[in-house]
Structure 1
Amino acid sequence: MAQSNDNEKRSPRFDRTERRIHVNPAYHTSLSTAVAVSMQVLVSHPLDTLKVRLQTTTNHSDVGALRLFANFCRSEGPGFMFRGLSFPLMTVSVGTIGGIATYTRTLSHLKPGSDVKKLDQFSYLDNFVAGWVYGCTRAVVITPVELVKSRLQVQRNGGPQLYSGPVDCMRKVGRALGLRGLYQGFISMLAREAISGAIFFPVGRYVTRQLKDHTRVPEIWATMIAGGIAGVASSSVVYPLDTVKNCIQVVKDDAPTQHRQMIYWFQKLYREGGMRGLCPAFAPAMLRIFMGCGTFYSAFFFLLKYLADHEEVVQGSEEVRPWANIEAQKSPRLSVGEAAQRLVQSSEEAALQ
């Protein structure tokens, strides 16, 4: 006990207050979104390529998805599924970061003074409105990305290679149609993103809450399942819009103006194949959505929580101040002169003892 009291009296020779660096929550959100979106793109892009090929292939309603997939693999090799991967991998996160930023900002405006990290305090209506704003923001940013990705995905190996890469595609489209050409299919893209965002977030919160309250599923798996279910629920509603959007974006630059209109493709696809014509490759698309959205949802919230828990970065080492107690850690940081003076005092006290 005496030894313990002596230790408490000893001056903390290198006692430095733990400086804590408070990171702006926006950085947490941006970093979490970028990592989560990159993981989502890597997981879902192969099936997305297959989906776009099937959506833009003529007479797709007469041929099964597995047969077309086998034909593509036979003629081009399995590598066709990774066409156009680099461009969305580098750019989609920008649109999603902007969308998530407006999503959290909208939530804070709907309920002033609330902590957007604690999503349980927001109602399903709040998530619906914020999700709608998220979708609108994301559509503005990623429409050119989707156009370039779709055009690269439909290029066949061994066939005419109109574009050598993403930059070449943007340059040729811009030269032929101007900036407006990069936003072909924007109306259908805006409708798709706004509606799916308004459905995705409230459904995701509802499923997450139900899994946490009524099952013993670990939280990371609960968020992954919830994200997958929410993605399927939202994407199945807007799937015809997605098909129309892809058909508009891969139209040749010299095609008639009506071929860039939503109503033209709705009528054409429905006339040729009914709802099946508007929803080709539905099963592989939903599998891709479940995998991609589940990965994004779980990775985003896991990283956001992890970064929030480690927001305060401690500077200093416990090894150089083994006797420093809690009160000492909270004391003001000493200057060099004060530290030297205390060191001398502690030496004198030790000599007297």
Structure 2
Amino acid sequence: MDIGRIAGSGCITHIWMTMAPFDHVTEPALHRKVVLRMFWDGEDNPSVQAPIGDFFGIGHGITKNFWSAPLAMSPEDGQAMNSFFAMPFGSSARIQLESNADRPIKFYFYVDYELYDTAIDSPLRFHALWRRELTQGIEDNISNALFEFGGKNTTGAGNYVMLDAVGKGHYVGCNLNIHNLRATREWNWYGEGDDMIFIDGEAWPPSLHGTGMEDYFNTAWCPQQEYHSPYHGITLGGGPNWSGKISAYRFHIQDPIMFDTSIKVTIEHGHNNHRSDDYSSTAYWYQTEPHKDHPLILPVRQRLPLPDILPFNEDDMKQCFDY
């Protein structure tokens, strides 16, 4: 369903949205069941496609109070979702909502925008894309030290890919959501994966190669403390021994990553891609059109978060992943 159509040259400056089941009965993971899409200048393939909660900054189908410069979830309990990303358009803008909720929902929104008398002076358009993957690691039958810290990744092959875009533009950040699926009493830090960002088709090693997941998100020393700031933060810190669900964000507003022909934003899933966990992310960027076609988003059953309790049974895994 289209909830907004704007004709002319202009720029969306702010979006506020909230929703709830029509009958007020709580529906788990509602914010993974509703999909937000945006189309610029009459395009058929969306420039923005993500579950609504993930787009506004937190995955796992939840809302929670947090703030950053471009995105925020505000009281009550993060159900007031705000975007301050500038979204320019040359001839038209269209915003679409798709609900896969179990029951009817009520939905409220503001879309604040400017219209211009002359053509907009930038060819760049705002993009956002959600992905999810059950990462494929190694068998956990080696020493914990080797599992967590051993080996070397000298190709980038097998990294979790947050963004793979073709065109000219700049990457402005992401949120990353991880569900730790390893049940152990040993050191169970989910991170240690290096970020590797490949610009304009460069070969490994990329010019931007980080030193660990927490370092990319501007934190340190296997953090669990929740923290919000304008450009980086941890919205979910996980449970004991880094168990459960984690969510973090990093925005490159003051330090955008430019590309002339392409960009591939990746991160290891555990050191040397050793870990098998549930990863999802939303990447945000600006680029010239046309963009690389985005595939239709995963069916709702494959978007739903896994249960909080480990271990899972076979049906739990099949619900979300084909294997």
| Same fold (TM > 0.5) | no
Higher Cα radius of gyration: 1
- Structure 1 length normalisation: TM-score? 0.25
Higher helix share: 1
Q: Higher RCO, 1 or 2 (CA under 8 Å, sep at least 6)? A: 1
Higher strand share: 2
- Structure 2 length normalisation: TM-score? 0.26
